[in-house]
Amino acid sequence: MDIYRITKEPIDVASALVAIGDDRAGAQALFLGTVRNEFAGRASRGLYYDAYEPLAEKELRRIGDELKQDFGALHVVLIHRIGELPLGEVSVLVAVSAGHRTEAFAAAREGIDRIKSRVPIWKKEHWDDGQDAWHDDPEAFSPK
């Protein structure tokens, strides 16, 4: 089973593992992005994620189809959480099953790379000093 979802709720890893289960699979690879306490050396206290939800879910589905096509993934789960996330929370999950570990790792790695480069989601850093900044804002964002 596949899942492609933008959600405000905590991401449930157990459900993702159930979804990708398959007797043909010898390998499952998961990637979880978690909220870190610093970015480029500047202390942070959390992240806010915004998304254009309908297009983001479409793009997650397209990426999942590519991972099956390109790497032979059997099942794919791609979930991105949005809203306010404190330190340590899971912001994104990539889970794939495949026959062997080389394909599973390649699919999971490409999955997160393609999410980060193509899916309409944006994050705002809540710096520990009280300032805020959207990532990739050429005017406001100065990590140091």
By CB under 8 A, the residues from 25 to 84 that bind a copy of itself are 25-38
- For residue 39, state whether it binds another protein (rule: CB under 8 A): no
Stretch of residues binding another protein (CB under 8 A), selected from 9-17, 66-74, 102-110, 120-128: 120-128
- For residue 119, state whether it binds another protein (rule: CB under 8 A): yes
Three-state DSSP class for residue 40: coil
Q: Compare residues 61 and 109 and give the one whose CB is closer to a copy of itself.
A: 109
Of 42, 28, 15, nearest to 129 by C-alpha is 42
Residue 58, contacted partner among a copy of itself, another protein, none, CB below 5-8 A by kind: another protein
Of 108, 125, 106, 126, nearest to 116 by C-alpha is 108
Of 81, 76, 103, 99, nearest to 91 by C-alpha is 81
Give the HSE-up count for residue 36: Cα atoms under 13 Å, Cβ half-sphere.
8
User: DSSP class of residue 129?
Assistant: T
- For residue 142, state whether it binds a copy of itself (rule: CB under 8 A): no
Please answer whether residues 7 and 92 qualify as being in contact, where contact means their C-beta atoms are separated by less than 8 angstroms. Answer: no
Per rule CB under 8 A, count of chain residues that contact a copy of itself = 32
Q: Compare residues 117 and 139 and give the one whose CB is closer to a copy of itself.
A: 117
Interface residue list for a copy of itself (CB under 8 A) = 13-14, 17, 21-38, 87-88, 90, 97, 99, 101, 104-105, 108-109, 112
